[in-house]
Amino acid sequence: MMTVDLTKKRYSVLKRNFLNVLSILAVVVACAACSSATTTSPTPSTVLETVQPTEPTLLASVSPTPANGTAACESYFGFCVSANVSGDVTTTVNTGAGSSYGNNCLDWAAAGDTRILELPIVLSAGENKLTVALTRIGAYTGPGTYTLAASTTSGNPDSFPAIEVAGRTFSNGEGSTAVVTIAADGSGSIRAAGLVELASILVAKPDPNARIDFTMQWTCQNEQ
């Protein structure tokens, strides 16, 4: 019981700082997109639009469960997440994530009128401090597979994941791709390839040739 109480206290502390971290990532992605007009380096081709979550999503490290490939996590988290980064930076994390939705798994994934669907967020997890934010499906209509597009002629554009890992930031750029699959029970996955490095607080001059691939899968559980 004491371990659970301490975990919840750490969760509350992280929660107070989450919006600041998310805001910094949003500014980094937006600034990098703006700078593309004056440089030939591969930078994002469009400014990623974001919807701030009404309730921040925070994490706690947990032990992996190889049976289904997704980490187990405490019952007060809405998503149990496993994420992997490969390429110029590598890391693998298993963690729990809260939900900005409520969290009823069937309602979160349910078919219906077109809406924005925010994907699970990872915050400063693992040895390389992996943060994954801002990812969304701009025109979600129900369970299925969606290829993300950062620009659209109508409706809301999708948002590629903004990834901070080992002090470096990566997101959508020339040649980047991302595919999201959502199941009816709220589980899902995202596979992104060719994400490019962006200028950030710690990296003023990003490597124009740096690339990472990113995969994340999750199960959904109704928060207790």
* Bridge partners, residue 197, by sequence: 170
Nearest to 145 by CA among 172, 113, 177, 171: 177
- pTM of this prediction? 0.71
**Res. 51: pLDDT tops 70:** no
Backbone angles phi, psi at 60, to 5 degrees: -145, 135
Q: Indicate the Cα dihedral angle 213, 205, 125, 107, nearest 10°.
A: -60
- Report the distance separating Cα 155 and Cα 146, nearest Å: 15
Q: Please report which confidence band the pLDDT of residue 24 belongs to, taking 50, 70 and 90 as the band edges.
A: low
The amino acid at 80: C
In this prediction, residues 81-98 reach a mean pLDDT of: 94
Domain hosting 191: range is 2-220
**Res. 95: pLDDT tops 60:** yes
**Res. 28: pLDDT tops 70:** no
How many domains are contained in the chain? 1
Find where tokens 């937006």 sit.
30
143-152 pLDDT per residue, tens = 999 999 988 8
**Res. 56: pLDDT tops 80:** no
Considering only CA atoms, give the Rg of the chain.
Answer: 17
What pLDDT shows up at residue 217? 97
The alpha carbon of 27 is separated from its chain's Cα centroid by a whole number of angstroms, namely 16
| 32: enclosing H helix or E strand | helix 2-35
**Res. 3: pLDDT tops 80:** no
